[in-house]
Chain A
Amino acid sequence: MRVSITMVVLALVTATTFWGADDFFPFAPFKMYSFSKELDGWAGSTRVEAVNEEGERFSLTERITGFRRAELEGQKGRFIDDPELLRFIAEAYENTNPEKPEIVTVEIIERRYRLEDGHQTGEVIEVVEATWTREDDA
């Protein structure tokens, strides 16, 4: 009985490693930093910026929204397809900081570093990947 529990756990871990995806948590491929990064190409770093009612621009960090950068990157495709969803990040910020001025614009920005042969070349570009602006002018 107990040996079979061990075997089942092992089998599930093995199976999800070969065929599974993150979706099968707690059994999942242990893929921390498992992607190959090109030695020549762009290494990207994503962030979210917001503009509030008073025109101040700032970064929407995990600390002030409860929403992590990695989560943003995980759902980035969704946000690019439907920028309207960025409103919920603004909502998370407003729930966390009810006393602060409200947000009118949210942007996803990716900063890309150029690599050549694994070295930074110093070339950096920034791309705005998705934008949402509040429309109700009440």
Chain B
Amino acid sequence: MTPLPLARKATGWFFQPVALGRVAAMRFLAGAFIWVDWWWYMPWILGHRHVPGELYQPLFIARVLPVFPVPNYWIVVGTLVVLLAAATPMMLGYKPRLFGWIVAVAYFEWMIIAMSYGKVDHGKFGFLLLLFLLPTMPKARWGDRRTLSEHVGWGFNLVQIGVICTYFFAAWAKIRYGGWEWVNSATMTWAILRRGTEFSTWLLDYPWMLRASQWGMVCFELLSPIVMFVAAKRVKYGIVAFFYCFHLTVYLAVEISFLPHMVAMACFLPLERIRPRDLIRNLPRAPGLVRAKLKARKRVPAQREAPEPLPEAEPAS
């Protein structure tokens, strides 16, 4: 049959095996984010415990599934307690599947509490996908580069799709709501008037630069899916680094950081290479080690790059 090679290629793209070490790292990152989220990143969610139920505006999902109660003081506080209590063992790898499910469900309820008062925030999509996919993945140890899993590859692939959709469809949303003239409109001026910082208010005097930045944003958002199809690891990591820089710039300009999105995006990176024990043990010698590593890399170009699972690895099924 002729379509077979293509089909196999597609399956390979969906199920490219990923080392289990990355799962341990992502669990840690997700849990760590949840621990800073409630008091630093989005403290206002907890603030909803004092807001009267009359200002609660249930979302579609809450109207269809009658399992989400109107938040009150104890529902908000209780959800947070459950969330934090389950996030801790998950992040340390103790019964990570059981606690992972609890975290996913509790965080979802936390989001319902957050988004049901007249404003829905965007950019959490990838993180929610991550939370619901992590519990489907096996128990994992930090730094495990040996055990490869197609299921993990599939899961992180889906998270990555979620992350990239956030960019790509953000461009579509701009065209849908703002029209094609969005790129030339005063949206960035408005954003900086509302929440500018000392790094960005001077830009108000140069509207053409703000307009240029709008063009740049739409271009990068429309081009972002490329990262899913790049084979060369360096190019891929380079693009992801660019995404992180973009968020840093946006944060400096208008103090919007999309932190959970950035956590989800970390699954593009070869986090299985991190071994916390070695890191701590080597910390005093770190500068020397980095220098030695750089030298070694120069001597043997490109060859030391391959701890990654080879893309050619055949799917078992």
Report the separation of the CA atoms of residues A13 and B50 in the bound assembly, to the nearest whole angstrom. Answer: 33
Contact A30 B173 (CB under 8 A): yes
Q: State the CA gap A20–B189 with chains docked (Å).
A: 27
How distant is B156 from chain A, measured CB to nearest CB, in Å? 12
Given A30-B122, A67-B47, A117-B207, 14 other A-B contacts at CB below 8 A? A31-B173, A32-B123, A33-B188, A35-B182, A36-B185, A37-B190, A43-B190, A66-B44, A66-B48, A66-B49, A68-B44, A85-B55, A88-B52, A88-B54
Q: List 5 A-B contacts (CB under 8 A).
A: A34-B176, A37-B190, A66-B51, A70-B119, A89-B55
Task: Report whether B61 and A24 are in contact in the complex, using a CB–CB cutoff of 8 Å.
Answer: yes
Decide: A10 near B186, CB < 8 A? Known: A2-B14, A17-B173: no
Given A3-B14, A26-B124: A73 in contact with B119 (beta carbons within 8 A): yes
Residues of A within 8 A of B47 (CB): 62-63, 65-67, 96
Contact assessment for A17 and B185 in the assembled complex, using a CB-CB cutoff below 8 Å: no
> Which range contains the number of A residues in contact with the other chain?
35 or more
Cα-based distance from A134 to B51 in the complex (angstroms): 18
- How many B residues face the partner with a CB closer than 8 A? 65
| Any B CB within 8 A of the CB of A39 | yes
Q: For the complex, is A22 an interface residue (Cβ under 8 Å from B)? A: yes
**A9 touching B123 in the complex, CB below 8 Å, given contacts A36-B181, A67-B55:** no
Which single member of A9, A17, A41, A74 contacts B118 (CB below 8 Å)? A74
B120 close to chain A: CB less than 8 A? yes
Q: Which of B48, B111, B184 has the most CB of A within 10 A?
A: B48
A residues in contact with B123, CB < 8 Å: 30, 32
Within 8 A of A (CB), among B93-145: 108, 111, 115, 117-120, 122-125, 128-129
Is A38 in contact with B174, judged by CB distance below 8 angstroms?
no
Q: Is the interface of B mostly helix, strand, loop or mixed?
A: helix
Contact residues in B for A37 (Cβ distance below 8 Å): 185-187, 189-190
Contacts of B277 in A (CB 8 A): none
A14→B169 contact, CB < 8 A: yes
With a cutoff of 8 Å between Cβ atoms, the chain B residues found around residue A85 in the complex are 54-55
Q: CB distance A75 to B118 under 8 Å?
A: yes
User: A109 near B: Cβ within 8 Å?
Assistant: no
Is B191 an interface residue, CB under 8 A from the partner?
yes
Q: Is the beta-carbon distance between A120 and B169 smaller than 8 angstroms?
A: no
Measured CB to CB, the closest approach of chain A to B169, in angstroms, equals: 4
Contact check: which of A29, A36, A74 meets B169 at CB < 8 Å? A29
